Amino acid sequence: MIRILKKNEVSSSEIFSRVQPKFDVESIVAEIIENVRKKGDSALFEYCEKFDGVKLSSLEVTKEEINLALSEMEPEFLHILNEAAANIRLFHEKQVRNSFILNRENGIVMGQKILPVDRAGLYVPGGTASYPSSVLMNAIPAKIAGCPQVVMVTPPGKDGKVNPAILAAASIAGVDRIFKVGGAQAVAALAYGTETIPCVDKIVGPGNAFVAEAKKQVFGKVSIDMIAGPSEILIVADEKSNPVHLAADLLSQAEHDKLASAVLVTDSFELAEKVQEELERQIPLLERSEIARCSIDDNGKIIVVSDLQEAIEISNEIAPEHLELCVDQPFDFLDQIRHAGSVFLGRNCPEALGDYLAGPNHTLPTSGTARFSSPLSVDDFIKKMQYTYFSESALNDVAEDVAYFAKKEGLTAHAKSAVVRSEDKK
C-alpha cells in the first residue's frame, strides 16, 4: 500500500528514492560492449540467442517485413499513429533553428551554421512492453532536423520478428534502417559499428538499466540524449481533485517499471486517504498489476503539505520528469515551475496525453536532471559550426590587441601568429 507522509517526514531527496537493483550493471555492460567491439555481428547473434531466446539468420529488418506489418495493422491504429505523428511534427517544427551571418564593418564576416548529425541511432525498448510511441517521439525530431539517416535498433520477439506496431510507427516516422537487436549490445553496435550495423553519431531513446548504463559508457565515442532512469510522476492536487482520476494517473507511470516512482503531493489529508483506497481498488484490475503493485508499494508516496505553494516548492526541489498540476487555475502556477521535464496543466490533462498524442516529446529528463537538461527535441539532432572571415585591414586593426591578450596568457606563438602578416608587409 502506498504510504501517506507529512512533509516533515520525508526529505526532498527521498521523495523519488527507489529500491535499487542488486546486480553489478556496470561491469556486465562493460563486458558486453567489449565483446561487441571485438566480435561484431557474431556477438550480437550470440546475445540475441542468450537474452531474447531466438536464433536469427540476419539482423536487418527487410522491406517485405515492414510492408507486411503495415498490411496487417488495424486501420484504426494506423490512423491514430498518423494523427500522433502529425501532432509531434507540428510541435517540433517550431524548434527548428536557423543559421545566421553577421556582416560587420571593414570586411568582417562571422556566422553560425546549423547542421544535422550525419546518422542518428534510435533505441526502442522491447521486453516487458513495446513502445511504438517512442519511435515517433525520437525519429520525427531527427527527420525534422534533417538527419540523412536514422537507424533503429529494437529487440526481436521469440519468433524472431519485430512487433508490427513498432515497424508501422517506424515507417510513418521515416526510419531508414531497422535492426533486430536490443539491450546493451545494441547500444554498443550503434556506437562502434559492426559488419551489418553502421556506427552513428548520436544515440537516443529510453531503455532499461543495462541500456542506460551502455549509453553512459559509450558517451564520448558518440553523443547521447540523456541517461534516463525509471519513469516518475509527481501530481500536485488540491482537495477538489477526483481521487479516481489521480489514482489512474499515478498508475499510468507505476505500470512502466517496478522501479518507477509515482508521487502525489496534496494539501488535503482526506484526499490522500481516498487516493490510497482507490489505488488498492485499481491495481488488481491492471494487466500489469504485479509491476504496478511493486512500484507503488516500494517507491510510491502521498505527501500532505500545508498549502499548494509548499507543493510547488517541493516540485521545484525534486525536478520531476512528469508534473501534473490538478488545480482549477493551473496557469496561475506555471510561471512558478522552474524545474520539470513536462508539465500537464489542469484536471483534464493526464500524463498519458503526452506519451502518445499531444505533440510535445515524451523522452524526458529523470532523477532530478530536469534542473539542467531538457526534453528530447530537434536540438538533439543538430550541431552548430561557426565561421569567421577578416579582411587584411580588419586584421591589422586588432592584431596588436590579439597579441597583447595572447602574451597575457603566456602564449607567444599565438601572439606571433596575430602580427606576423603585418610584419611581413614591413
Cβ proximity of 173 and 140 under 8 Å: yes
What sign does the CA torsion over 88, 90, 94, 96 have?
positive
Degrees, nearest 5: CA angle 91-95-97: 155
Residues with Cβ within 8 Å of residue 30, at least 6 apart in sequence: 217
What torsion do the CA atoms of 61, 64, 68, 71 make, to the nearest 10 degrees?
120
92, 245, 322, 362: which is the annotated catalytic residue? 322
Degrees, nearest 5: CA angle 377-383-385: 150
Active site residue 414: no
Quick one: 307 exposed, middle or buried, by C-beta within 10 A (0-12, 13-18, 19+)? exposed
What the block records as the C-alpha cell of 260 is: 518507477
Quick one: 231 exposed, middle or buried, by C-beta within 10 A (0-12, 13-18, 19+)? buried
213, 278, 321, 324: which is the annotated catalytic residue? 321
Spatial distance between the Cα atoms of 3 and 263, rounded to a whole number of angstroms: 10
**Catalytic amino acids?**
321-322
